[in-house]
Amino acid sequence: MKQTTANTSSFEGLLDDYLKAENIENFPAKVFVTFCTIEELDSKARVIYDVQYDGKKYKWSCNKTNLRILKKKGLEGPKNLCDKHVTFGKIRVRNPSTGENMDSLEVVEIE
């Protein structure tokens, strides 16, 4: 896994607030993307964006479905979403870990 500045003496940097459908009251919702990182764990890469929504800063873990949508919308790579507004819709999906249905974010538009 990618090394960070966090350490075992503190929870600082470990309790990031990830943007989820439950954080948003009204859809469609527009967020601003400020930064992009790639985290690697067990040879699998995850794209994590820093976003701003409703005056708060969040992390957004972009799933494979949304990565495909971003590519279809013409982005050359994950970093090309930085400094853009993303509009999210809310959809119901099956959580692969629990098998339960849950609300999730789906990219609708990029500006």
Q: Would you kindly state where each structural domain of the chain is located, as residue ranges?
A: 21-110
Q: What is the mean pLDDT of residues 76-94?
A: 96
Phi then psi for 104, rounded to 5 degrees? Answer: -145, 165
Helices (H), 1-111: 64-72
pLDDT tens for 63-84 read 999 999 999 999 999 999 999 9
Confidence tier at 26 by pLDDT (50, 70, 90): very high
Q: What is the pLDDT of residue 11?
A: 67
Asked if residue 50 has pLDDT above 90, the reply is yes
Q: What is the pLDDT of residue 65?
A: 93
Rounded to the nearest 5 degrees, what angle is found at the Cα of 79, between the Cα atoms of 77 and 83? 130
Supply the pTM of this predicted model: 0.82
Asked if residue 7 has pLDDT above 60, the reply is no
Cis omega (within 30 of 0) for bond into 78: no
pLDDT, mean over the chain: 89
| Residue, of 54 and 4, whose pLDDT is higher | 54
Pairing state between β 101-110 and 56-62? unpaired
Phi then psi for 30, rounded to 5 degrees? Answer: -105, 130
User: What DSSP state is assigned to residue 22?
Assistant: G
